[in-house]
Amino acid sequence: MSKRSVQVDDFTSLQVLSDPQFAMNGQDFFYVSTTIKDKKNYESHIYRYNQQKQSQWTYGHHQDSHPRVSPDGTRLVFQSNRSGTNQIWLMSLLGGEAEQLTTLTHGATNPEWSKDGKTIFFSALLDNDDDVQSQRELTKEEKEKKQNEKKKQPLIVNRLKYKSDARGFHDDKSMQILAYDLQTKQITPLTCGGHHHYFQDVSPDGNTVLFTANLNENEDEELYLDLYTLHIPTRKITKINQQKGSFYQAAFSPTGKYIACFGHDFKYMGATLTDLYIFDLNNQTETCLSYQWDIQLGDAMIGDTRLGASQTGPVWNKDETALYFIATDHGATGLYKSDLNGHLEPIYHNHSHVFGFSYDSKSDAFIFGMSTPTDPGNFYYIKENGKMKQLTDANKDYLNRVTLSEPEEIQFTTSDGWPIQGWLLRPYGFKEGKKYPLVLEVHGGPHAMYGQTYFHELQLLAAKGYVVLYTNPRGSHGYGQKFVDACRGDYGGKDYRDLMEAVDYALKSYSFIDETRMGVTGGSYGGFMTNWIVSHTNRFKAAVTQRSISNWLSFYGVSDIGFFFTKWEHGYNLLENPEKLWDFSPLKYAKNVETPLLILHGEQDLRCPIEQAEQLFITLKHLKKEVEFVRFPGANHELSRSGEPQLRIERLNHICRWFEKHL
């Protein structure tokens, strides 16, 4: 059977795997599979891998996630919105229906077991005076009535951090840590107050909870996250870290002697590489294991189909001599190990995207999730120094039906001596001797990374007959601290030149590219750069700017991150140097735009608010430039990755339409 080309809505048929969790026998594991239910909704279910077979454990048109197996291996706790709001549910692994444990008005999330299996810790948004014992979940009708009443009331704002792209406008509720006693079936709040408390781990003896929070009086003006322990019997809270910074993904060692976590000190603001820290609780010492590594810890890969959270580390080995984690390096992510002296070595690192893992201390084995440019993702089994074994075969039918383009890596040196990595996809049905149009894709961030992962939009453009070029210009992760910091204070400078020289390199190296038919697109920072490109060169014949930034003067005050991000990336706040911010703004150069420009933006985007698109559109339209503006109702900054499926389809259709018209 001949394979067809990729189609716009193919992403709706994908099964996206995440969050592998070993069962107690060290062989079976649970995981989450997310699919698209219909034009408006996603659904996710929990599966079990047992003796080389996969079986579905939860059903229905809802979202089940965060499965965690009890220490004795007999029960599974998870979160689900099957009742209408995310709550905590429990099921026996011997069979039977799931039991709902919580009925909190605003839901409950992220359950974790105590080491003795008697308590389940979880998180919930609470008001200061909430009585968790008497709370009940609202009915659908009650929710709708409350939402309608809220829409009629004015919003009183007295904080800098009063909105976020993920939550929308904030209220007075804060994230708290609670404990559910399985014997008494009572819920006990462990934290309270107006500050968010983020659960990290519980000590081996069950007496201490580890969490992160900013408990400072000026928390509203800071982005620090400190590390704390809470002694449950006495409620005593102790701060662990000594230096200022942001600490997260923290975990007790098996004996409780140490804490390991990721974090950084904001030395390079948002471009600071993540470090790996060890805290010795007995000696009250703090050690940075990664100070010589020059590698980004965690997963900085950009894609448009990855759904669901997964563990990226750090995770302790069984005898407290090493830590396991994912790290980002040169267009790929891998699974790594470090001893307590900072000796770094890979367990698995190849041309791929390792997006999550689970470690079993009994067998010293790993289950890890991995994606490649031609595979949306599967789970694999590996032991240290052992052979890798594929366990799942998700999306087999889809991959047997379509032709995917395998990326060709490019590497070149810029005119000022910087090495740049990128990739090129040849179009579907490629024939030697024929000329093809090119589309340059620019990633967001800017401190993120293109690389060896499945990316539906890139494959779609190749399927539509375009050569697709995507690179990691300076400012991207994966190439060390100096590289990721290099675009700060220089937006539209050498980062722009890197992209233009990448196009020059591709034209010189691949004779099948038609330099008279080139397009460019990108989102967020990539949208800013698209705006910058079309206002500084006419070499592109079409452009699509997505969720973009056009005016840094207004971005400062309207974005949920503008009040600090502007200073981080440009060195100035609005009142400190408005002239410099205007110089960085593509809107200043709108009169130079000759490239037909399509503007795509979500109505509810609070990260790069839609007024950025409105200013650009009105200005270009007033200047009688060729421009079109598409607004996506209800969509936030995550439209391309996790937005409403029908709107994601519409977005891709508009991109293809614009390039087809002009290229």
Phi, psi of 161 (to 5 degrees): -90, 70
Interstrand relation of 75-80 and 87-92 (parallel, antiparallel or unpaired): antiparallel
Judge whether 48 and 54 are in contact, CB under 8 Å.
yes
Q: What is the residue whose two structure tokens read 């409780």?
A: 256
167-171's contacts with Cβ under 8 Å and 24+ in sequence apart are 168/604, 168/606
338 in Cβ contact with 306 (< 8 Å)? no
- Please list, residue by residue across 425-440, b when 16 or more beta carbons sit within 10 angstroms of its beta carbon and e when fewer do: bbbbeeeeeeebbbbb
For residue 446, is the peptide bond before it cis, meaning its omega torsion is within 30 degrees of 0?
Answer: yes
Query: In the 8-state DSSP scheme, what is residue 118?
Result: S
Q: What are the counts of helices (DSSP H) followed by strands (DSSP E) for the chain?
A: 12, 39
User: In angstroms, what CA-CA distances link 37 with 15, 28, 636?
Assistant: 11, 27, 20
What's the distance, CA 598 to chain centroid? Answer: 26
What ranges make up the beta strands (E) of 508-574? 513-523, 542-546
- In this structure, what token pair is assigned to residue 53? 């077979």
Tally of CA atoms within 13 A in the half-sphere of 393 that contains its CB: 7
Half-sphere exposure of 387 (CA within 13 A, CB side): 3
Straight-line distance from the first to the last Cα atom of the chain, in angstroms, rounded to the nearest whole number: 32
- The amino acid present at 433, given as its one-letter code, is G
SS3 269: helix
CB 562 within 8 A of CB 549: no
Catalytically annotated residues: 524, 637
Rg (CA), the chain: 25
Q: How crowded is residue 26: how many other Cβ atoms within 10 Å of its Cβ?
A: 13
What is the residue whose two structure tokens read 């140097």? Answer: 577
How far, in Å, CA of 496 to CA of 595, rounded?
Answer: 17
- Distance separating alpha carbons of residues 486 and 287, to the nearest angstrom: 27
Cα distances from 34 to residues 302, 317, 370, 392, in angstroms, run 18, 30, 15, 15
Residue type, 71: P
Q: Give yes or no for a contact between 385 and 348, defined as CB atoms under 8 angstroms apart.
A: no
The pair phi, psi for residue 568, each rounded to 5°, is -55, -50
**Rounded-to-5 percentages of helix, strand, coil across the chain:** 20, 35, 45
- Single-letter amino acid code for the residue at 467: V
CB 370 within 8 A of CB 310: no
Query: What is the distance between the alpha carbons of residues 340 and 173, in angstroms, rounded to a whole number?
Result: 39
User: SS3 of 497, please?
Assistant: helix
**Cβ of 74: how many Cβ atoms within 10 Å?**
12
